[in-house]
Structure 1
Amino acid sequence: MDNRDEVCAFLKSRRAKITPEQAGLPVYGQRRVPGLRRGEVAMLAGVSVEYYTRLERGNLAGVSDSVLDALAQALRLGDTERDHLYALARSANTGPARGQRRPKKATVRPSVLRIVEGLHDQPAYLRNRRMDILAANPLARALHCELFETEPVNTCRFVFLDPRATRLYPDWDRVAREGVGVLRVEVAKNPYDRELSNLIGELSTRSDAFRTLWGAQDVHVFTEGTKRFLHPAVGEMELVHETLDLPGDDGLSLTVYSADPGTPAADALQLLASWAATRQQETAAEQSGAEG
């Protein structure tokens, strides 16, 4: 197994996105390919056409950082795309002996779990890089109530396979594109992760939308931003989210949603908390009645 196909598809997709005008190159006559030609990328990166052709065929083994930097500049890669290119190069140089080691199964430390559960007025959850949610506080479960109806809880599986996702996320296209981008980043870092491969295979088989977005080769890393929800009980709200990697837990990140005080979103969060509390009381009463 190697990542040549991943490298080839990524470089071709980035080359196709740049016009000669954007690269500051003159245009002569009819062009048969979208974006730049291989020779133009090679010239911009300061390498021979033969060498760049080798790279675009998927062979990044032994490529120096200086060449990767020149290639990233020639293709006008953003920070996340540049990091992705470096990850592809690292995987190419790692070799199957190390690469085939399965990633350690993520476990949530009790101290981290206490942090999540201690955020009473902010939805918070922990996830791994496959977008599995490993722990969540009650408010996060209430915000994503439909997502938590099925185990294991995976946000990409919900987005692409549950029709209710298009209602919960008014900006479904962006949510879907970003989720696929996160999986694409993870594939470059852990190309031999069997669970990740199984998830991508399942989504590719069952979702035309996922297949299309996966072929686009776009990458994404969650940091901060806003997300709109259309909650089945509370209605529309726009929340700020922050995603923080946990340095001591490789592959785990904490996502927290919040709203500025005095805003409609803050009122919606309070309403969501009341709805969640009522729902929890009803569930407890039902369980008590069943036991009685």
Structure 2
Amino acid sequence: MGILNVTPDSFSDGGRFIARDSALRQAEQLLAEGADIIDIGGESSRPGSDALPLEQELERVIPIVESLRECGVPLSIDTYKPAVMRASLAAGADMINDIWGFRQPGAVDAVAGSQCGLCVMHMLNDPLTMQSAPSYRDVAAEVGQFLAMQASMLEAKGIARSRICVDPGFGFGKTLEHNLTLLGRLDELAHGSWPVLVGMSRKSMLGQLTGRKMPTERLAASVAAALCAAERGAFIIRVHDVAPTVDALKVWQAVRSATPRVEQA
């Protein structure tokens, strides 16, 4: 999944693709590098960010969806607003990626009647406060419980399981220790029931580990994190740097396919 932020204030590439022409050029680049999905975001969810007015998000996102709907890969929309969900689906989007896990009033109704894919993400509190001393007794158990609860709720509303994936929300109300625990126990989070989407690309957790202060300096760490996630069962890897991640995953998959599995006694 290639990230296309059409925002002025995203933590990594804010402002680079706010203009329609530059956003479309970036989408072409993501496709050329091997992206299987393009994830379009019109509102930054970086820690400490304020909510964006609805009309501004629509103005940023809908023209891009309309321009890319024939691009040949599914379009995902990173939003939690039901009105943006409805408008995006009407414009040709294929997936809704919701940082609130479809907890906002009207969110489930906005997607239930379509055939779009849904990503349920875990976030503690909200973007403005999520990094204010986040605390868990057992982060993997609590995050896994939330994801299972929300995904099961969607199924109870008539949404097919095949439409749903889940995301533990790295960096969304988690310390470095929480993030590392979630990555290490990634295979536990979906209980084998839903595919797992992982987004760690360029995030501050990687900066903390490597000492790289600038998000654009975290390429190697982002690729390493993607491989760790794939090894633990991640099905969708959400990244800024598609080509290096695709190359690394090709090598990992080739070695994995060529190596006989040893059955445990």
Task: Tell me if TM exceeds 0.5.
Answer: no
Normalising TM by the smaller chain, what interval?
Answer: under 0.3
